[in-house]
Amino acid sequence: MRYKELLISLALLLFTGFCNAQQKKDSTHNFSIQQSIKYALDHQGNVVNARFEVDKASAKVKEIVGIGLPQISATGNIQDFLKLPTTLIPAQFFGGPSGEFIPLKFGTQYNTTGEIDASQLLFDGTYIVGLEASKTYKELSQKSLTQTSIQTVSMVTKAYYTVLVNHWRLQMVGADANRLKKLMDETEAMYKSGFTEKLDWERIKVNYNNLKTQQLNIGKLVNLSMKLLKFQMGMQQNDSLALTDSLKSIPIVANLEKDTAFNPENRIEYSLAESQLRANQLFLQKDQFSNLPSLALYGSASYTGPGAKLEIFSSDQPWYPTVIVGLKLNVPIFSGLQRMYRIQEDKIGVKESEVLLGTLKQSISLDIANSSTNLQNALADLINQQENMDLAQNVEHDSKIKYEAGTGSNLEVVDAETALTEAESNYYSALFNALVAKVDYEQAKGTLYKK
């Protein structure tokens, strides 16, 4: 009976696990670009770890604050003197000859001590600076989180655009293939009826086969780009993801502002460099303050219970208290010139941070100018490729009508189809380049993501 119950329980567990696995496997998400970004900021590994670093920095601040709070500790000690210590007493104290000693043993076999120590830091210049430095460390970790988030937003947006462009490209190649298939079937019927040559049908067949191969390859690119998007979002690959935004709903034209209107502090890299400069200045200040004295209040209270027997909890056990209160003043005098050279190193670090800040400002200005130019060129190319694709569609349409009317050649139709496919491919590339250039421009301006 117990064996049957065990089998039933095991079957229920397996069935529950299978259902949970299926439920997890069949997770479906319908996401816009903004929803994909939000999901990534909650699940992407780099962002999650950067958030952990912020939590660690918060804990570090509290740890350093704790140095200035009262420090209290308690100790207990039980000693069993298997051999009591021997003390030599001059023999002349007891009427003996001078220069000789009498060995005597003092104390009890057991000695129990309980002690409480407390201290309070009253003044330490390095502690005051350390508090400020810990806050700067937390600020650096928060800005690092923002930087990681911006990078994640950029990668997710580009990956989302890649999927949309590949989907659209797949649809248009499929439409081209269907259109060419219809023409190929019509030409085959005309060839069998003796109204056209076999060569005409074969030319269209070659183009059709090329389009089907291209359609197959683009289909693989769609799957691969979807996998990449899930990876950038921190989503499981076995989850189902459907994109709700379309290319038509995405505004491609950006507001190209003048480069002189840009504030470099909008860039997280510049803000990080400012915080790093502040941190180096605090390191310098800490080493300079290490020349100042430090003052601490301390106290100790203890009870000692000696005895010939170990009787800690006996009422006959005598206890002897000791209480100490004092101030400890530490005045640095000479440290082998170490402090002087640390200060020199700190000053050099401050100068390096100042140089880096100026260089970064110039780099950001160049980055904005470069991304602005790239975006303008990409938009101009997109307009040109759009016009070329429209023209290619008109040519393909007209050449097909002429061919069906008997006034055009099959070669004209094949050339028109080839030109249309090439024009569409160029347009897809120009469209993707324009979308990516827009993301790069917004990232350079510091407007891609605001926390």
Interaxial angle between packed helices 45-67 and 125-192, expressed in degrees from 0 to 180 and rounded to the nearest 10: 180
Q: Calculate the average pLDDT of the chain.
A: 85
CB 389 within 8 A of CB 423: yes
Residues 204-245 have pLDDT tens digits of 888 889 989 999 999 999 999 999 999 999 999 999 999 999
Cα–Cα distance for residue pair 130/61, rounded to 1 Å? 9
Neighbours of 278 (CB within 10 A): 18
Residues 312-366 have pLDDT tens digits of 766 777 888 999 999 999 998 887 888 889 899 999 999 999 999 999 999 998 9
Predicted pLDDT of residue 92? 80
Helix (H, G, I), strand (E, B) or coil at 420: helix
Q: Which long-range contacts (CB under 8 A, 24 or more apart) does 78-83 make?
A: 78/110, 78/111, 78/112, 78/113, 78/310, 78/312, 79/110, 79/111, 79/112, 79/113, 80/109, 80/110, 80/310, 81/107, 81/108, 81/109, 81/110, 81/111, 82/109
Cα–Cα distance for residue pair 102/104, rounded to 1 Å? 6
- The least confident of 49-63, 157-171, 412-426 is 412-426
C-alpha dihedral over 58, 61, 67, 73, to 10 degrees?
A: 0
Nearest residue to 62 (alpha-carbon basis) of 126, 137, 121, 6: 137
- Reading the block at residue 271, the tokens are 């803000």
C-alpha dihedral over 244, 249, 252, 257, to 10 degrees?
A: -110
Q: Is the pLDDT of residue 18 over 70?
A: no
Predicted pLDDT of residue 12? 47
Cα–Cα distance for residue pair 443/345, rounded to 1 Å? 35
Q: Is the pLDDT of residue 69 over 50?
A: yes
CB 380 within 8 A of CB 170: no
CATH topology of domain 21-67+124-292+332-445: Outer membrane efflux proteins (OEP) (1.20.1600)
Nearest residue to 377 (alpha-carbon basis) of 425, 424, 420, 436: 436
Domain ranges of the chain: 21-67+124-292+332-445
pLDDT confidence bin for 6, thresholds 50/70/90: very low
Predicted pLDDT of residue 7? 41
Instruction: Please give the model's pTM, rounded to 2 decimal places.
Output: 0.81
